[in-house]
Chains A and B, each alone.
Chain A
Amino acid sequence: MMGRSFFHPARLRRLTLYAVLVAAAVVMILPFLWITLAAFKTQIALLMGQTIFEPTLANFDEVLFSPASDYASNYVNSLFIASVSTIATLAIATLAAYSLVRLGWPRWAVRAILLWAVVFHMVPPITLAGAWFTMARTAGLDSSYAGLMLAHITLNLPLALWMMAIYVREVPLELEEAARLDGASTPTMLWHVIVPLIRPGLAATAILAFIFSWNEFTVSLNLSTKLTATVPVAIASFAQEYVIKHTDMAAAAVLSIVPAIVLLAFASRHIVKGLTSGAIK
């Protein structure tokens, strides 16, 4: 064995390893840190590039409470649309997943529907946005929450369907057979046998559906009006004003990250499970 010098190869390798990982973490965190600092700066402090500055809450105050800003109502819109569409997506996907996995559909039908869902999930949403816009206009839904919610349900349904199909498949068949022998009907079975067992799956799916709905921009941009605009649409409009208020945009961006941070703090394991469920069996 060599002496335990500082430059021992194994130790050196370990140090490099940690150095790379720390550098990567810094690169990931720095933009968030910078935007958060910018949100607490005055416009002048930002433009002067001051690193030491007197923090102010004026930007948050202006974004949330100034009569010229709709951001507070955009925030409520986003919460409303994301919550309702998440609940609906979950219900529709769970029913369909149970039907496809356990109710004796022919194999080709199951494959066809799952493939249909996956293909739709993969094409750019903008390709259908034009048709949705025209259809919503015809149906009189073009300035309503319902149109946006339907769009978000549709966009999230494929992912939810796939995830729920994976979780329902994991429920032991014997449990279901036992319940059948006791004379359980299909709704009883779903509610009292399946749903309690797939709760972790429901949580993971709900979190992802909520986040994706909260983040969705492409379709919301084209289907929303001034009244129904969501948070991403509002942030985009900050960037397009004649005189860009950079610090307001920073404050709005920081506020928009809050739900993600809350979910990250309480449910990061569910999120990792959900994100990787499609890729690793």
Chain B
Amino acid sequence: MNDAARNDRLWRWLTLAPALAILTVLTLLPVIELLAMSVHEIAWRDGQSHWRFIGAANYAALAGDQLFVAGVANTLVFAVAGVVAQMALGFFLALFTSHVVRGQGFYRLVFLLPILIPGIVIGAIWKLMYNPDFGIINQALGLVGLEPHDWLGEPSLALASVIAVDTWHWTPFCFLLLLAGLESLPRDVYEAVRVDGASAWQELIHVTLPMMLPTIAVTLVFRLIVAFKVFDEVYLLTGGGPGTSTEVISFSIYRRFFTEDRAGYGSALSLTVLFTLTAAIVLAVTAVQRRQMRP
């Protein structure tokens, strides 16, 4: 019996060890590495890195970094505007689809495709469609007699154009999750409400929405988190420009750390974003869990 107990403990550790090793070496250690780099000025000369300790100077420089400030502002606008649009569109499409019997399978298939293809390809597709010279968007506008625009090149339009691509990309995700939520709602409640003679609108406000709230909350949190990570599409569509009009946080980090080779400052930037988001995520996760635990 004693042998079996020791054996159990051994297997308990052996089965968890690879995952723990990955998490420790590739998520915890990097944070420590970032911490170390962030208090240094790091220069590359002759394939060697030269570290010079500069204390908190990298952190002090953050507030004055116009790129970063613009990145934070744009990421907030991008995430909030995009996710609100995607949730609203996704919800109504899901509501409509749940009333339709035929063609649901086909519909689901069509809506899965954008979720599965690389973000960079979405960027490539829309970059061609937005092209001011031959893109289909200006062609279509021309057909109905509207002015052509350089959708990604005009500072006042660029961010909205990127948000439109993101909405096209991610509305299907909201749609699928919300549709799955709608289909798991108990049917008898609806029958009872219909017997009472409620209108479709009353049914939506008083029955569907309250019961869907947990699914809506989870979908919203998922989407917001992915929206804050945005990189691929911006990289290809605008590269953060024109000026800083589509600069987003991930892109600022990439630019500072990799393009400009400022590893020390880039690390300070990374850590600041990492800690702020981690705090927000832990708060959001606990809030969602508390909601779900309520009866």
Contact = CB atoms under 8 A, between A and B. Distances in A.
Are A and B genuine complex partners? yes
Interface of A: 17-18, 20-21, 24-25, 27-32, 34-35, 38, 46-49, 91-93, 95-96, 98-100, 103-105, 113, 115-120, 122-135, 150-151, 153-154, 157, 161, 185-187, 190, 211, 214-215, 217-218, 221-222, 231-232, 235-236, 238-239, 246, 249-250, 252-253, 256-257, 260-261, 263-264, 268, 271-272, 275-276, 278-280
Q: Is the interface of B mostly helix, strand, loop or mixed?
A: helix
A21 B107 contact: yes
B19 interface: yes
Contacts of B6: none
13 contacts: A92-B19, A104-B12, A105-B12, A128-B26, A131-B33, A150-B22, A150-B26, A186-B7, A232-B232, A239-B123, A256-B118, A257-B113, A278-B218
B285 to A, nearest CB: 6
Interface stretch (B95-103, B154-162, B188-196): B95-103
Given A123-B273, A128-B274, A280-B180, 8 more contacts: A17-B96, A92-B18, A124-B231, A131-B29, A215-B119, A236-B236, A268-B109, A272-B180
Contacts of A236: 120, 123, 235-236
Interface of B: 7-8, 11-12, 15-16, 18-20, 22-23, 26-27, 29-31, 33-34, 37, 93, 96-97, 99-100, 103, 107-121, 123-129, 131, 133-134, 136, 139, 168, 172-173, 176-177, 180-181, 184, 215, 218-219, 222, 225, 228-229, 231-232, 235-236, 249-250, 253-254, 257-258, 263, 266-267, 270-271, 273-274, 277-278, 281-282, 285
Contacts of A119: 278, 281-282, 285
Given A217-B120, A232-B121, A268-B109, A31 B273 contact: no
Given A126-B270, A157-B23, A275 B30 contact: no
Given A49-B139, A131-B37, A235 B111 contact: no
A135 to B, nearest CB: 6
Contacts of B215: 279-280
Given A28-B111, A123-B274, A127-B270, A249 B124 contact: yes
A185 B7 contact: yes
Q: Is the interface of A mostly helix, strand, loop or mixed?
A: helix
A257 B126 CA distance: 15
A240 B209 CA distance: 46
A116 B23 contact: yes
Contacts of B133: 47
A103 B176 CA distance: 34
A272 B184 contact: no
A130 B267 contact: yes
B274 A279 contact: no
A231 B26 contact: no
B115 A222 contact: no
A31 B270 contact: no
A247 B222 CA distance: 35
A98 B129 CA distance: 47
Nearest to A93: B19
Nearest to B282: A119
A119 B27 CA distance: 10
Nearest to A220: B120
A123 B134 contact: no
Contacts of A261: 113
B4 to A, nearest CB: 9
A99 B263 contact: no
A104 B266 CA distance: 42
A280 B22 contact: no
A276 B180 contact: yes
Contact of A279 (B180, B231, B267, B273): B180
Contact of A157 (B22, B114, B168, B263): B22
A260 B112 CA distance: 10
Nearest to A124: B229
Contact of A35 (B16, B19, B125, B253): B125
A95 B119 contact: no
A38 B215 CA distance: 39
B23 A268 contact: no
B9 to A, nearest CB: 9
A280 B31 contact: no
B29 A124 contact: no
A27 B235 contact: no
Contacts of A96: 15-16, 18-20
A275 B175 CA distance: 12
A124 B235 CA distance: 14
Nearest 6 A-B pairs (CB), nearest first?
Answer: A131-B30, A96-B19, A99-B15, A186-B11, A215-B118, A260-B116
A255 to B, nearest CB: 10
A31 B180 contact: no
B254 A253 contact: no
A127 B128 contact: no
B34 to A, nearest CB: 5
